[in-house]
Structure 1
Amino acid sequence: MAAEEHIPVYTTLQDLYGGLGTSLDHALRWNNLAEEFEKRFGREPAYIARAPGRVNLIGEHIDYALFGVLPMAVERDILIACAPRPVVASPDAEVQHAPGGVIAENLHSKYTRQMFAPEVKKKYEQTEVGEDQVHVEGWHLDINTKELRWESYVKAGYYGVLSHYFPSASANAVESGKHPVPVDLLVTGSVPAGSGLSSSAAMVVASTLAFLAVNGKLSDSATAATDHQLSKGELVKMSMENEKRVGVNSGGMDQAASVMSDSSSALYITFYPTLKAAPVRLPPGAVFVCANSLVVSDKAVTAKSRYNLRVVETLVGARILARALGIQVGEKEKITYREVVGRFAGEKHREELDAAVLMQLLTRMGDEEIDVLKPKGLTGSLDEQLGVTMDEMIEMSGLSKEVFNEVYLSWVEVEANHFQLYKRAKHVFGEAFRVLQFRQVCIEAMGGSGIDDAAEQEIGTLMNDSQDSCNELFECSCPELNELTRLALESGAYGSRLTGAGWGGCTVSLVPGEQVGRFIKRIRDSYGPYKDLESDALSEVIFATRPSSGACVYKFE
């Protein structure tokens, strides 16, 4: 299984990209990064960490409900050149001499040089016996979640490495050499920020890998100092924890796609009962085209009224549905919709429901059972007010106000007058069903003579239905995304939908391979923000992509 594989460490681009033709396409960019690092820091990098962005083909906002999703890594990526820094006298001596001090630069001129070092902070913990408290020491990095900066993602990745591999930040540990090394790093990226192609997850994954590599924590690192070989699944979990430090409660799809993808398939990623990823062969005659709406969606800035609000609505809805179905839920348990389905079906521990059975249950839940999430006495259409107030939601949960706040609100900020529990659940169950349909169409078609036009049309219809649900039920689309998906269908796409968290960012369209050039030209001529764009500027906002391999480290020899 992909989750159990180790993080690859390469010494040639040909091995990294799996073919000389593809590696030559990227060699100039990698060489430029290495040369620029040497100009700025006076020596060549020891490693370059790479993490690709991803496009989610179908399965939006259901990963944190623990339902399976179908993303694919794209060729666009984040690269971080890095090397341990020798300690020499300089104006930056305070950072240079600090344990684990970092000097971070970015090839993009709008991002300024940053210097920071983890600090030792005392905190107090309860002892296991008695009521005495003891102080322990841990690492602290200042991350401003209110005004998110590029280096915050670098710090987030670093935090995970510090907490997992350097748990003791005491003076004795520093003196004994068991502390992080000083690091220089240089970042570049081709994944557009705020586009819905998961630049944030790619940045966190790449920075996590960079700090692991320079500290000798990867099995193939030049100075590897660990017997445990980090698996891809463990890197995904670490990166999920890291990204939460910038204020985003990610479900794990972005990190899993960036880490575990291969260069021939999409990934069917499941999160329950454990994280797994299985390749799904895609239509050989079709191409996926990403188009940036140029509406920037910053999850960290708008999270309390958008992303994090949807997480809370989804989790609370699962508890209320479980209660209505007579399913036992612990008082402080955050049960998910996938767990509700499993317990309702009598699914045993670490067992997985058959896909056909799961699809039947999804239909029942979405069509019959979720009416309990509507306001009392209301059975009307989607055009009516189907949301509930905070007080109504707490009452429906069966929890006291104090326990409800502890379980669902103490760890996240949300802002809403009405909580749309019914609409969110309707989307989640429908979208989970569409993911299984998409996967089944691909499996059946590839088991025959190849995917034909009828199968591509069916996949396209599922993508269109997903877009409608995202727009109407999950309310995570926006006028520009709606316009782009409409124009895509008019320009010959089989299907088109938003991808990523939504509220801006990109669409993804399934397009016949022979029509890609004409398709892009028609979108360019039709979508207002594209009309003055040419050549490189146009290719930055709309581009065709094939599946990419996952995150890795390149080691200089």
Structure 2
Amino acid sequence: MRSTRLCTRINIWPLPLLLPPSSSSHLPFSMAAQEPIPIYTSLDKLYSDLGNAATHAVRWNNLAEAFEKQFGRKPAYIARAPGRVNLIGEHIDYALFGVLPAAIEPDILIACAPQTTAIPSPGHVHAHNLQPQYKARSFAPMRRDSVSEDHVHLKEWDLAINRRELHWESYVKAGYYGVLNRFFPLTEVARSEIAPAPIPVDLLVTGTVPAGSGLSSSAAMVVASTLVFLAVNGKLDGVTKGTLTEMAMENEKRVGVNSGGMDQAASVISTPASALYVSFFPKLSASPIPLPSHAVFILANSLVMSEKAVHARTRYNLRVVETLAGARALAHSLGVHVGPKERVTLREVVGRLGGEPEAGWDESEEGIASLRDALGKALAGAEALKSGRPDEEGLTMDEMVARSGLGAADFHEVYLSWIDVEATYFQLHKRTKHVLSEALRVLDFRAVCQRAAADAAELVHETALKELGALMDASMESCSTLCECSCPELDLLARLAREAGAYGSRVTGAGWGGCTVSLVPEDRVEGFITQLRATYPAYKDIGDEDIKEIVFATKPSSGACVYEFTE
């Protein structure tokens, strides 16, 4: 069997953990969204864009060789999608407020090739995973048809994702859905016509983004699987980064998560050495944000696993509904017009409250000032959403409906008919206050970074780091007490991080487990990790090598790409 090697040389150079972005190497997101998905045939070029070390090339070679051993031939493609860290702006993307994520080095890699077995069923998939706890799976898309006298009525593709018992391949299926529906649509056709069929495929997955860590392993898996099925079916031409982001957002809903788009945008469109200010209103846009010199971000896994889709009914999806219902209740309280069947977001309510033009406020000083002013007014108005009970336990369903200004039937249609949630009391005041105050903190974080970038003085950067740390601490407090997406272990880990010398520390990701991100002085990285390892109880019995995958510094990575094998 011929051994598959992807490259013979990799250029290695030392890089600081975080680098300020070069203004000449980045496009505004509105332009970058139109860029094609990068397709490489040389790892030299791929690694020059990723800025990664040769140890990552070993993973690619190992995956290619494992694929060849498993399936008897080399892969046709390898798709890569990175995880992400959100520096600040938690649980506000689905309210359409701006966030500040960055792609990270840990990623998902999926190798694939068309099947060569005799007469495979259309679109059949053999899915294997290099991690032994994930068992091999086989599945095929089913056409759900109904037959009349003259026509076959072809309905939507079905891949049988069980949202209540999600397995690892559910995220692969989720990515497949978008490709099937966009490029192999099932429409009403005559019996004599044969719809084009997707290609049967073998695939092998590996990943370094810990599941349930808050670093968006699920989004990375969905992005990578979407790319794999695009590539193997010859559908990459014309697919832009923006298109892939939108597809991945829709695809992740297949596992029951109504994502706001931050995770997918960061995984797809990020560029090396920058964070992104990603905004979603009035359209998807982003711009690179330089980080102060000597800023080092450390990720620390709480070792509490939180699978976003598994607990969505009582956690993530519930926050989405509470935030949306809070937006309507706030608008009703403040006399802001909302259509009877409109599912308005808090960002839209804030814009209407502040008299925002139809094209939206721009990112000029004047535009940001207008947004800040409207946020302040909305935040003051949010006090009217309190339940009025001494313990502030929230609103019952009937009380929430009454605050919305809608009848029960209309409320159910707009807010509950499309999403599965479970709660006795709904915390509209807390969630609304969190979203609005967090949106202001994102603007503050962005402004601090921009001021520091405009002044090279060391003292300015030291002051900026302290200001950013204070904003991260305030975000953590809000996530814990208002959004209630933290857990005791995350609260403890953030406190221990501050005691170990961090400027600030906060939960990153959906929460209820996963990771903290801490801003640490450059000269304190090793001492910080040593102290955190000694004081966080779950770390005490972890070996020297294993701890490197649990607590680590990361530099911003580039976004998703495809490697194509050539003869």
Normalised by the length of structure 2, the TM-score is: 0.90
- Give 3-state SS (helix, strand or coil) of 1:488's partner: helix
Match of 2:504 in 1: 495
1:115-514 pair list within 5 angstroms: 115-122=138-145, 135-168=153-186, 178-219=196-237, 229-353=238-362, 354-366=367-379, 368-375=380-387, 384-449=391-456, 452-514=461-523
Please tell me the residue identity of whatever aligns with 2:417: S
Q: Could you tell me which residue of structure 2 aligns to residue 520 of structure 1?
A: 529
Measure how far apart 1:15 and its partner are.
1.6
| Cα shift at 1:282 | 1.5
Residue in structure 1 matched with residue 549 of structure 2 by the alignment: 540
Offset, 1:307: 0.9
* Match of residue 39 from structure 2: 9
Q: From the superposition, tell whether residues 134 and 168 of structure 1 become closer, same or farther in structure 2 (CA, over 3 Å).
A: closer
Residue 174 of structure 1 deviates from its aligned partner by: 11
Q: Residue 170 and residue 186 in structure 1: after superposition, are their counterparts in 2 closer, same or farther (change >3 A)?
A: farther
- Aligned match of 1:102: 125
**Structure 2: how far apart are the matches of 1:134 and 1:169?**
9
Pick aligned residue for 2:73 from 32, 43, 47: 43
In the alignment, structure 1 residue 27 sits paired with structure 2 residue 87 = no
Which residue identity lines up with residue 356 of structure 1 in the other structure?
A: A
2-side partners of 1:355 and 1:159: how far apart?
38
Asked if 2 retains the 8 angstrom alpha-carbon contact of 1:123 and 1:138, the reply is: no
- Is the Cα–Cα contact under 8 Å of residues 244 and 268 in structure 2 kept in the other structure? yes
3-state SS in 1 of match to 2:109? strand
Deviation at 1:488, TM superposition (A): 0.5
Q: Distance in 2 between matches of 1:415 and 1:21?
A: 44
Percent same amino acid at aligned positions?
60
Shift, 1:264, TM fit: 1.0
| TM superposition shift of 1:364 | 2.1
Q: Which amino acid aligns with 1:154?
A: V
TM-score when normalising by structure 1: 0.91
Aligned length: 528
- How much is the aligned-residue C-alpha RMSD, in angstroms? 2.0
- Cα drift, residue 330 of structure 1: 1.4
Q: 1:478 to 1:124 in 2, by over 3 A?
A: farther
Say whether 1:59 aligns with 2:89: yes
Tell me how far apart the structure 1 counterparts of residues 497 and 422 of structure 2 sit (CA, whole Å): 34
**Native 8 Å contact 1:386 1:423 kept in 2:** no
Deviation at 1:305, TM superposition (A): 1.2
List alignment gaps of at least 5 residues for structure 2. 1-30
Distance 1:177 1:459 in 2: 55
My pick for the range that moved more, 403-412 or 496-505, is: 403-412
Which letter maps to 2:507?
L
Deviation of 1:175 (Å): 7.6
Letter in 1 for 2:220: A
Q: Against the structure 1 CA distance between its residues 19 and 134, is the aligned structure 2 distance closer, same or farther, given a 3 Å change threshold?
A: closer
Q: Which residue of 1 aligns with 2:23?
A: none
Contact 1:198 1:500 in 2 (8 A): yes
CA-to-aligned-CA distance 1:478-534 (integer Å, 9 cap, x gap): 110011001101111111000001111100001112211111111111111101112
SS, match of residue 554 in structure 1: strand
Question: Offset of 1:23 from its aligned partner?
Answer: 4.6
